[in-house]
Structure 1
Amino acid sequence: MFASVRLLFAASKLKPSVSDVRKHKDFSHLSDVQLAKLVRLAKLRKLAVGEVITMSTAGDARRYLFKGKVRVRSAKHEFILDIQGASEGLPSLDELLAESVRIECLTPAFVLAMPTALIGVSHEVGLDDWVETPDELAVDDLSLDLVSELQGSLAREIMRDVKEERLNLPTMPELGLAVRRKAMDPNSSASDLTRIIQVDVTIAAKVIQIANSPVYAGYESTKTLNEAIARMGMMAVQDVVTALTIKQLFVTKQPRLRRRMRNLWEHSTRVAAGASVLARHAGTVDPEQALLAGLVHDIGELAIIQYANQSNLSSISDADLDVAVKHLKGPLGAMLLRHWGLGEEFVVAARFADEFDKQTPNEILLLDLVQVSQLHAQAGTSMALSLQDITQIPAIKKLGLATEGPEKSISLLREARAEIETVRLALAL
């Protein structure tokens, strides 16, 4: 159930991270996703001792001194810039050259060229920015600086395996893969899917149960798998079956990890059910996609638990697991879903599920539904946000749940509780 994943990283380890460039005045207006795209597309050029940096005529990039010592000389002034990385400010070479100065390298120097087209964009994030989120954002922008070496040992071990391309991630269960392949075949039919799914009696029964759930309110009850597939549609069925088969990954013989897996599955099913019901009410997102997005939004945590399961568990404390989950759950989830070949909206939902202040495009995304469903699932728990806080969350505003005040927004979420519980029970295996 595991496969080795080859991950993508920045071409040079000298490239800055998102946290490095975020501090610069030229980039402070950009979102984290736009910053990550900027870093990914940046070009790093090495200059030799004695080389003179001249004014660029292309205009397609802005150049910054990333590392090295240079002499800046004009008719009246002369000074030395000695920069050892992005944390020291990234001086703009083009701004200096505009003042008629001569810049000469006193040591080997690295010049960072940032695409002008990306620097000039507004902070508003477009869908293209989200679906092109690079793997660098999932790895290179992580920081364990505030975590002790001892407490963060598991997280550091996982990060090392990721960067050395040795990390094994769970593979999608065979039935889910088979159904997805068949659904994508333009020559396949509902009968073809029926023949594949009916081999697993439990999954087949659950597909029928979901076809009769509030997600498909208004239809007559269906009794056969073929009717259920015809009602839902083949593309919808592939998402539902994928969601149902994922439960097969929640297996361990370790009692301590089994408790974590059980709690994770319970939370995931609640979020999945809530997201699918919200999608139906929103009317612009497929409920089945929302169901799958909710079920896999914490799949990175499952990867961490399974990593611990293959390690020496006696040396891993609950605190170690908590730190690894906090810092790595989103990035690992994004990597895993990419490896599975799910759409980028699923990847984004897993990567940013817990970052409730994220600004997203105007259209409702799977991420928005997952976040609002999480807030509903957390209501009444120690993790719940205050009523005032909840109405400031972008996803809440986008779904129109903040317009009537905080109490109204909570009541609107609670009104769907019966529907959500029905769908959640349909997911129980």
Structure 2
Amino acid sequence: MDRIDALKSIAAQAGRGDLHFPTHVDATLKLQRTLTDPECHIDEAARLVQTEPLLAARTVAIANSAAYNRFGNDVTNVKAAVQRVGFRTLGALAAAVIVRQLASEIHDPELRAKADQLWLHSTHVAALSQVIARRVSFVDPETAMFAGIVHEVGGFYLLSRAAEFPGLLDGGADEWIEHGETAIGRGVLLKLGVPAPVMGAIEALWNGMRALPPETLGDTLLLANDLSPVASPLLERDIGVSGIQVGATIDFAVGEGTLKTILQESEDEVHSLTAALA
């Protein structure tokens, strides 16, 4: 099977919902669904978060980040962290754990390096999306951060399957975009139960549709993607073309300031969010 046929095969499976996840991903999916249940009490949420050490650590780290800890009062336990960040952010953090778990079975050093770069890219997009949403586009910041975390989940799934198909990634960005990105991405997002507005924003990113200044969740996500200092390894052509160099040239007026001044003022927030998600 050549690489294009392999991509089409994986995409067809994803389209049917026939996805192969590690066992611990399924367990975290169940935990995520429970956390998003409106009947879930904060005590139950804290107990569930503590059953997943990585999620517990990330929740406390996010709660103590500059974006959520405005007065420098660090929390030291999961329940206090859950109370501070809220259930929507908690759902985003559960999604972050799931995305990382997709890469946990990757043992090939080259594929592992790509997965690490893809996650670093995702953390930057998530942090930038949160800040842009709060200070520029005025869409919901927690939803924007969630969209940033999961926008490349199809890529993580592809990397988790790549060892089964030698040469799968040799074709570069164009083959991934044409034969895999949308179908695989949509299939995995549906499996994760991603809400329709977030799905729509990610599809806007795939289609490259946005307005400047950003007005919608899709605009916010696409701008954050362009501004990310780390490009997706599945879209290598972005490096120096539509990644860092173009991102550095984007600026526009926002109220009495500009995008650049807002990002400079928010540098600590972006850095702390990125570090907490890493």
On whether the aligned pair clears a TM of 0.5, the verdict is yes
- Answering whether residue 220 of structure 2 is matched by residue 369 of structure 1, we say yes
Shifted more, 294-303 versus 376-385: the winner is 376-385
- Which residues of structure 1 form unaligned runs of 5+? 1-148, 392-400
Give 1:371 deviation, angstroms.
1.1
Given that residues 3 and 165 in structure 2 are in contact (C-alpha distance below 8 angstroms), is that contact kept between their aligned partners in structure 1?
no
1:196–1:256 Cα change, 3 Å: same
- One of 101, 104, 108 as aligned partner of 1:248: 101
| Corresponding residue for residue 7 of structure 2 | 155
1:235–1:266 Cα change, 3 Å: closer
1:217–1:227 Cα change, 3 Å: closer
- One of 57, 62, 73 as aligned partner of 1:205: 57
2:214 and 2:242 mapped to 1: Cα distance?
26
2:116 and 2:61 mapped to 1: Cα distance?
22
Secondary structure of the corresponding residue to residue 353 of structure 1: helix
Give 1:369 deviation, angstroms.
2.0
Residue by residue over 1:46-102, the C-alpha shift from the partner in whole angstroms, topping out at 9 and shown as x without a partner, is: xxxxxxxxxxxxxxxxxxxxxxxxxxxxxxxxxxxxxxxxxxxxxxxxxxxxxxxxx
1:299 and 1:351 mapped to 2: Cα distance?
13
Give 1:301 deviation, angstroms.
1.3
1:155 and 1:196 mapped to 2: Cα distance?
36
Secondary structure of the corresponding residue to residue 341 of structure 1: coil
Residue by residue over 1:230-272, the C-alpha shift from the partner in whole angstroms, topping out at 9 and shown as x without a partner, is: 1222233222222234211112122221121111111111111
Secondary structure of the corresponding residue to residue 230 of structure 1: helix
Given that residues 178 and 196 in structure 1 are in contact (C-alpha distance below 8 angstroms), is that contact kept between their aligned partners in structure 2?
yes
1:161–1:231 Cα change, 3 Å: closer
- Answering whether residue 128 of structure 2 is matched by residue 274 of structure 1, we say yes
What is the aligned residue count?
A: 263
Given that residues 42 and 82 in structure 2 are in contact (C-alpha distance below 8 angstroms), is that contact kept between their aligned partners in structure 1?
yes
* Paired amino acid for 1:416: S
- Answering whether residue 215 of structure 2 is matched by residue 355 of structure 1, we say no
| Corresponding residue for residue 416 of structure 1 | 266
1:178–1:151 Cα change, 3 Å: closer
2:32 and 2:17 mapped to 1: Cα distance?
29
* Paired amino acid for 1:376: L
1:340 and 1:303 mapped to 2: Cα distance?
12
- Which residues of structure 2 form unaligned runs of 5+? 232-238
1:402–1:354 Cα change, 3 Å: farther
CA RMSD of aligned residues (A): 3.4
| Corresponding residue for residue 234 of structure 2 | none
Percent identity between the two aligned chains: 21
Secondary structure of the corresponding residue to residue 357 of structure 1: coil
Given that residues 75 and 81 in structure 2 are in contact (C-alpha distance below 8 angstroms), is that contact kept between their aligned partners in structure 1?
yes
- Answering whether residue 111 of structure 2 is matched by residue 261 of structure 1, we say no
Give 1:319 deviation, angstroms.
2.6
Residue by residue over 1:125-160, the C-alpha shift from the partner in whole angstroms, topping out at 9 and shown as x without a partner, is: xxxxxxxxxxxxxxxxxxxxxxxx967343344355
- Answering whether residue 236 of structure 2 is matched by residue 384 of structure 1, we say no
Structure with the higher fraction of residues in helix conformation:
2
Given that residues 276 and 291 in structure 1 are in contact (C-alpha distance below 8 angstroms), is that contact kept between their aligned partners in structure 2?
yes
1:203 and 1:379 mapped to 2: Cα distance?
24
1:209 and 1:388 mapped to 2: Cα distance?
28
Correspondence list, 1:206-355, <5 A? 206-219=58-71, 220-251=73-104, 252-282=106-136, 284-309=138-163, 311-313=164-166, 316=167, 318-320=169-171, 322-327=173-178, 328-355=180-207
Given that residues 240 and 291 in structure 1 are in contact (C-alpha distance below 8 angstroms), is that contact kept between their aligned partners in structure 2?
no
TM-score (norm 2): 0.78
* Paired amino acid for 1:234: F
Given that residues 127 and 148 in structure 2 are in contact (C-alpha distance below 8 angstroms), is that contact kept between their aligned partners in structure 1?
yes
Q: Answer 1 or 2: higher relative contact order, Cα 8 Å, separation at least 6.
A: 2
2:162 and 2:131 mapped to 1: Cα distance?
34
Structure with the higher fraction of residues in strand conformation:
1
2:225 and 2:33 mapped to 1: Cα distance?
27
1:388 and 1:243 mapped to 2: Cα distance?
24
1:201 and 1:277 mapped to 2: Cα distance?
27
1:321 and 1:255 mapped to 2: Cα distance?
18
2:248 and 2:119 mapped to 1: Cα distance?
27
1:214 and 1:283 mapped to 2: Cα distance?
20
Given that residues 210 and 222 in structure 2 are in contact (C-alpha distance below 8 angstroms), is that contact kept between their aligned partners in structure 1?
no
Correspondence list, 1:107-126, <5 A? none
Given that residues 279 and 286 in structure 1 are in contact (C-alpha distance below 8 angstroms), is that contact kept between their aligned partners in structure 2?
yes
Give 1:321 deviation, angstroms.
5.4
| Corresponding residue for residue 177 of structure 1 | 30
1:363 and 1:382 mapped to 2: Cα distance?
23
